[in-house]
Structure 1
Amino acid sequence: MRHIGVLALQGDFREHLTALARLGVCTTAVRSPAELSQLDGLVIPGGESTVIDRLARSYGLTDPLRELIASGVPVYGSCAGMIMLADRIENPAISATGRVQESFGGIDMTVRRNAFGRQVDSFESSLKFNGIELDAVFIRAPEAVQIGPTVQVLCSVPAQLPGFHDRIVAVRQGNLLATSFHPEVSGSNAIHEFFINMTRGDA
């Protein structure tokens, strides 16, 4: 049985734990470096990327998470998790003390926080992922505004104005997967199933 952890510092980690358990995998809510050991995969959930950054540092998880990502263990990030897996943040938050928001990194991309607007601008869009049509829920979602040559685009939202590029909302680079949207609240299992297959080497 696959053993997949969900970073449980903040955000909708419970929904990811429920979705994974529904698909028959063993899950762990990760809040300490020790809980990263013996995992077949890790999910970084949606939430507030600035808070996840701050709490990861407080819990001593930032460097262990970067080491886990670099080691090749499959990691999936949704929404804020996509920001945390990006090598670069176009518009990082800056704290009152002047500290610039950091990510864990891993995917050669630049992301823009809150690219689709504020909470009131949340929306659903029908997308095709790995040949499967699904309804994607976007809540203060980021987008990938630049990707490196080894990053695969899995989903895009069509540009709303002529002459503009489609907006990248799902990417993969090696064992790292990221989506702007929240599959854990849509009722679709497609993304979680795809990630579980990644941990088996079947995707």
Structure 2
Amino acid sequence: MTARPRIGVLALQGDVREHLAALTAAGADATSVRRPSELDEIDGIVLPGGESTTMSKLLETFELFDPLQQRLAAGLPAYGSCAGMILLASTILDTRPDARHLDALDITVRRNAFGRQVESFETDLDVVGITDEPGAQRMRAVFIRAPWVESVTPDVEVLAQVPDGPAAGRIVAVRQGRVLATSFHPEVTGDRRVHEYFVTMVRG
């Protein structure tokens, strides 16, 4: 693996520019991915937020769904934020019957679990592998029409849960092998630690 791994951001919808900037700041060679051939040129991929059912349809329209699913099954490291988490999941609740998902994480997620856009919120989280470093501060997390994880299999590591409030205890960050997902949007806060964590995963 090169010192600066080449990490793609799925550029069909969502915070593509913000993820590209965060990955670059975290030490990666970041690039947009819109074509199947571009999947062969990357060491890892980020699936940004957006609208998960629309993104699944766009993946099919751009003939990316099956090639991406195959690369993930073959071990391509991936990070999904918000809608990206939903796409990576094996089971999705409250979704449309025609929506497809990539089956890269053995989790059950609930779409829009925290409510509508007007119920978006921020909170401070402890994140395993990030905020438990000596002297590290908690991570400010932004939730926008976010999912939460209803359940995980024993193969999935829970990295963060909502600390308090009506959603206390809800799982909002997970990792399974080379696949990482968060309900929240670290790309919008300026805190690069999730992206640094993922870049380290890709290097490993």
- Is TM more than 0.5 here? yes
2:46 is matched with which residue?
A: 43
Q: Conserved in 2, the CA contact under 8 Å of 1:44 and 1:76?
A: yes
Question: Which of the residues 109, 113, 116 maps onto 1:115?
Answer: 113
Structure 1 counterpart of 2:126? 128
Q: CA deviation at 1:165?
A: 6.6
Aligned to 1:139: 144
Counterpart in the other structure of 1:27: 30
Q: Residue type matched to 1:168 in 2?
A: I
How far the C-alpha of 1:22 sits from its partner, in A, is 1.9
Query: CA contact under 8 A between 2:81 and 2:183: conserved in structure 1?
Result: yes
1:1-203 matched pairs, under 5 angstroms: 1-94=4-97, 100-129=98-127, 130=129, 131=132, 132=136, 133-158=138-163, 160=165, 166-201=169-204
SS in 2 for 1:199: helix
Q: How big is the alpha-carbon RMSD for the aligned residues of Structure 1 and Structure 2?
A: 1.3
Q: Which has the higher contact order (CA 8 A, sep 6+)?
A: 2
**SS of match in other structure, 1:37:** helix
Moved over 6 A (4+): none
Give unpaired runs (5+ residues) of structure 1: 95-99
Contact 2:90 2:107 in 1 (8 A): yes
Question: Which amino acid letter does the alignment assign opposite residue 152 of structure 2?
Answer: I
TM-score by length of 1: 0.92
Report Cα offsets for 1:147-202 as digits up to 9, x if no partner.
111000000003535xx87100000000000000000001101100000000111x
Letter of the 2:64 counterpart: L
Q: Give unmatched runs, 5+ long, in structure 2.
A: none
2:22 and 2:187 in contact (8 A); partners too: yes
SS at match of 1:56: helix
Indicate the percent of aligned positions where both proteins have the same amino acid: 53
Q: Specify the code of the residue in structure 2 equivalent to 1:41.
A: G
Number of residue pairs aligned between Structure 1 and Structure 2: 194
